Amino acid sequence: MNAAKRLEIFRRLHEDNPEPKTELAYSTPFELLIAVILSAQATDVGVNKATAKLYPVANTPEAILALGVEGLSEYIKTIGLYNSKAKNVIETCRMLVEQHGSQVPDNREALEALPGVGRKTANVVLNTAFRQLAMAVDTHIFRVSNRTGIAPGKNVVEVEKKLLKFVPKDFLLDAHHWLILHGRYVCQARRPRCGSCRIEDLCEYRAKTSDD
């Protein structure tokens, strides 16, 4: 895909949604961090339902740490893998209190040292909470990047690096949100909604199927 196509794709996505946001509910970097940890192999809707009950009771590292694994589990037991997530969240809160003055660090190395925080989670926090140029590649973004031809790659790290290189600079800060929303609601896995897609004429997947 050439640069002109990529520019037009993101121009249209921006036009349709000038200020894209994550669908996870949060009001602080800490709330976002915990929500993203909980969102692994779970839906944002499911996570939001759980945190809507948790955060009014405990929304700081100290408060969640005080709940303990069993106490926290009661709030998040509707989420998949809640036992292991509860343990990770408690240990993350402990590290934040003991090593970071109860503040969420704004650098990748410190974030990835937290239990339950991998590269994708760190990128979400860096981009969404701290507005840094970072690209969190989940299944939606991986699919859209490969299917459209925006940034094809064999693994998430390859796609991440290509997106950081190829997405036009003016749109890079919000590209994560546009791509994930496009994958979630339009360029879906089993039945992509090509007929109602704003970038259909620029998409290489659509061009290939048309040629076939």
Active-site residues, by number, are 120, 138
Asked whether the CA dihedral 85, 89, 91, 92 is positive or negative, the reply is: positive
**Residue in the block written with tokens 């349709």:** 16
Whether 155 and 149 have beta carbons less than 8 Å apart is answered as no
What is the dihedral sign for C-alpha 20, 141, 120, 116?
positive
Number of H helices, E strands in the chain: 11, 0
| 93 marked among binding-site residues | no
- 3-state DSSP assignment of residue 94: helix
Q: Scanning the structure block, which residue is given the tokens 């961090």?
A: 33
On the CB side of 27, CA atoms within 13 Å amount to 7
SS3 54: helix
Is 9 within 8 Å of 148 (Cβ atoms)? yes
203 annotated ligand binder: yes
Maximal C-alpha separation, the chain: 60
Distance CA 80, CA 103 (A): 27
Annotated binding site for [4Fe-4S] cluster: 187, 194, 197, 203
